[in-house]
Structure 1
Amino acid sequence: MNEKTVKKMARLMLGGTLVFAGISHLTVGRKDFRAQVPDWVPLPIDDTVVYSGLAEIALGSSLILASDRHEQTVGKVAASFFTAVFPGNISQFVNKRSAFGLDTDRKRFTRLFFQPVLIYWALASTNNT
């Protein structure tokens, strides 16, 4: 399998994961996603969860459907999104909010290290590295 095929598969997998997560924001995962909204966000918690879910669906769809011409831009936007929502992961850790099976400080802390992986994944799978 060549590098281009691997990157495309990684991009499609990330896109599918984002679409699934976005749908979860709007349905079965809504309560858990509320645990990640920092107290300082000026919108109602549920609105924040819905808007971020819609953004994930849009980003995931964009990653799946992106043409070669636009994939780098979509990758940069996805990486920026993962950076922008990182404070939610920090908030979940600092405020000791259990969600998604992250029910100990150790699990919540370990989760923090996954965000840079998502950022890299978004960039690498769209030829930004």
Structure 2
Amino acid sequence: MTLLRWLLAALLVTAGVSHLTWGRRGYRIVVPEWATRMLRTDKDAIVVGSGAVEIMLGAGLVALPRERARLGAAVAAFFIAVFPGNVHQWRTRRSAPLLDTDTRRFARLLLQPLLVVWALAVAISPER
């Protein structure tokens, strides 16, 4: 299970870096208008914030293996929290980096529950 934890960490850090660099502008369209009103901020701040959280969660999974249960649960909660943005993107049919077709946007929706399960598996599985 150590490999699964490291792979999840790599995915999170890579996604987080993309939110802060090359994908930053494109990810803004994934943010629903209601999220900016609810959080009282703009789309760019939400994209940057979510990227920073992804990097911190990924780094935590590597640096704090004894906290994998809490961190895995936090990662699962994060994946659930960002799911409305994925739904918004699919419903509005707007392209973002790597999600430029209806098929890819829909596949992203199906991927989200698998990411949640992956994070929970990391949280509950013993290290070897």
> One fold, TM greater than 0.5?
yes
Is residue 81 of structure 1 aligned with residue 82 of structure 2?
no
Aligned mate of 2:23, from 23, 29, 41: 29
Q: Does 1:98 align with 2:90?
A: no
**2:115 is aligned with 1:121:** no
Question: In the aligned structure 2, how far is the partner of 1:101 from the partner of 1:53?
Answer: 16
1:13 aligns with 2:13: no
Q: TM-score, normalised by structure 2?
A: 0.88
Q: Which moved more, 1:119-128 or 1:42-51?
A: 119-128
Q: How much is the aligned-residue C-alpha RMSD, in angstroms?
A: 1.5
Query: % of aligned pairs identical?
Result: 45
Q: Which position in structure 1 is the counterpart of 2:109?
A: 112
Please name the residue that 1:56 is paired with.
54
Runs of 5+ consecutive residues of structure 2 not aligned to the other structure: none
Runs (4+) of structure 1 exceeding 6 A deviation are none
Structure with higher helix content: 2
How many aligned residue pairs are there?
122
Q: Note the C-alpha offset of 1:101.
A: 3.1
Mapped to 1, the partners of 2:10 and 2:100 lie a distance apart of 26
What is the TM-score of this pair, normalised by structure 1? 0.88
Which residue of 39, 44, 50 corresponds with 2:42? Answer: 44
